[in-house]
């Protein structure tokens, strides 16, 4: 069996089309289609159901892909390890990370990496959206939240929980809420909510609880929400570690109120595509990020 046919098939599945796979592999679309067809002939089974515009995995194709991607990943990992054993990290590494993290410690970490590996150029893209690493050509990503893409290899740095925070200035002006229900009478900074209100689901002394809050501002970036709360605009449901990680800290920092209540937090991960050869430059940055972000996380 020609492993090149297997690799081409896997790339078609990952990118969702023969055209996208052909563009990334630098091959004619006809060559990609022929490679998949030959693989199907060798296996004696239909892997992809084709139409004039799209293609879909058959049940047999899905089962074959799940096993093939693991095998290909192992081969590429072995090749990468052999190539990196004596290679000097050099070249361009494309990285994506959340906007929030860009305003925290990531700049310091990248500065130290640049000094340690002067031959590596890091192309960093900060974005609030979840980037498709394979389709958009990224080598690795730093992600916060829950991971849903099973084709990615992820290393977890740590987990965070949510707490209720307010600035001393706001508390002097509006008073300090003593119960969870009192939050409904306060101005709150909302995160990714709609219609000027949000339901905050928290766990307290008596188990799960919730409160509907309202506020003058709704944002889609947590770093902005932290700064708005710090400046006294309102009360926020914020990540505890995220506040301490902030480099552009407002003074004084927001303080935690109703500490007996907390919300489900998110994890921080360094992820890479599972079926992509990783040159020494990518491996160096991946390991550096895991190490340095891990150190920062332990400090908070």
For the segment 223-235, what is each residue's pLDDT rounded down to a tens digit? 888 889 999 999 9
91-160+266-299 falls under which CATH superfamily? Periplasmic binding protein-like II (3.40.190.10)
d(CA 80, CA 279): 6
Given a cut of 50, is residue 248 above it in pLDDT? no
DSSP lists the bridge partners of residue 93 as: 122
Supply the pLDDT for residue 170: 96
DSSP H or E segment with residue 108: helix 106-116
The domain over range 162-257 is classified in CATH as 3.40.1280.10: no
Confidence of residue 221 (pLDDT cuts 50, 70, 90): confident
Q: Are 197 and 186 in contact (CB under 8 A)?
A: no
Asked if the peptide bond before residue 231 counts as cis, ω within 30 degrees of 0, the response is no
Domain residue extents for the chain: 3-84, 91-160+266-299, 162-257
- Burial of residue 151 (number of CB atoms within 10 Å: 0-12, 13-18, 19+): middle
Tell me what the mean pLDDT of segment 221-248 comes to. 81
Give yes or no for a contact between 101 and 142, defined as CB atoms under 8 angstroms apart.
yes
Of residues 275 and 142, the one with the higher pLDDT is 142
Of the ranges 19-23, 67-71, 89-93, 210-214, which is most confident?
Answer: 210-214
- Of the candidates 159, 143, 6, which has an alpha carbon nearest to the alpha carbon of residue 74? 6
Read off the pLDDT of each residue in 82-108 and give the average, rounded to a whole number. 76
pLDDT surpassing 70 at residue 250: no
Residue 120: is its pLDDT beyond 80?
yes
Q: What is the mean pLDDT of the chain?
A: 83
Comparing 3-84 with 162-257, is the CATH topology the same? no
Nearest Cα residue to 189 out of 129, 250, 130, 245: 250
User: What pLDDT sits at residue 259?
Assistant: 93
* pLDDT, greater one: 201 or 126: 201
Q: What is the pTM of this model?
A: 0.59
Mention every residue, 6+ apart, whose C-beta is less than 8 A from residue 47. Answer: 9, 36, 39, 40, 57, 58, 60, 61, 64, 65
Per the CB < 8 A criterion, the answer to whether 235 and 214 are in contact is no
In this prediction, residue 251 carries a pLDDT of 58
Question: Which pLDDT score is estimated for 277?
Answer: 63
DSSP 3-state assignment of 212? strand
- State the Cα–Cα distance between residues 47 and 19, nearest whole angstrom: 17
Tokens (6 digits) for 23: 């563009």
Residue 188: predicted pLDDT: 97
pLDDT for 7: 83
CATH number of 3-84: 1.10.10.10
Residue with more model confidence, 66 or 182: 182
Which two three-digit tokens encode residue 279?
């040159």
């Amino acid at each position: 069996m020609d492993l090149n046919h297997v690799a081409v098939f896997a790339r078609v599945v990952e990118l969702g089309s023969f055209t996208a796979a052909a563009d990334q592999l630098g091959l004619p679309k006809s060559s990609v289609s022929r490679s998949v067809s030959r693989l199907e002939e060798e296996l004696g089974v239909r892997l992809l159901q084709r139409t004039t515009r799209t293609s879909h995995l058959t049940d047999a194709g899905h089962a074959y892909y799940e096993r093939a991607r693991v095998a290909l990943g192992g081969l590429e990992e072995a090749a990468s390890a052999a190539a990196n054993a004596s290679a000097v990290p050099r070249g361009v590494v494309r990285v994506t990370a959340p906007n929030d993290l860009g305003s925290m410690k990531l700049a310091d970490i990248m500065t130290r990496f640049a000094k340690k590996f002067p031959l590596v150029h890091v192309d960093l893209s900060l974005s609030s959206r979840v980037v498709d690493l394979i389709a958009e050509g990224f080598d690795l990503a730093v992600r916060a939240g829950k991971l849903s893409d099973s084709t990615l290899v992820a290393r977890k740095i740590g987990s965070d929980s949510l707490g209720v925070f307010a600035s001393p200035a706001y508390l002097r002006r509006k008073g300090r809420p003593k119960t969870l229900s009192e939050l409904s009478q306060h101005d709150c900074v909302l995160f990714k909510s709609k219609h000027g209100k949000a339901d905050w689901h928290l766990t307290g002394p008596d188990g799960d609880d919730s409160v509907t809050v309202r506020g003058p501002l709704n944002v889609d970036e947590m770093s902005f929400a932290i700064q708005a709360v710090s400046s006294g605009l309102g009360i926020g449901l914020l990540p505890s570690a995220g506040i301490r990680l902030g480099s552009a800290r407002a003074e004084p920092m927001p303080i935690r109120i109703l500490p007996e209540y907390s919300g489900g937090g998110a994890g921080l991960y360094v992820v890479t595509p599972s079926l992509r050869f990783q040159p020494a430059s990518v491996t160096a940055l991946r390991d550096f990020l895991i190490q340095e972000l891990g150190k920062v996380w332990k400090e908070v």
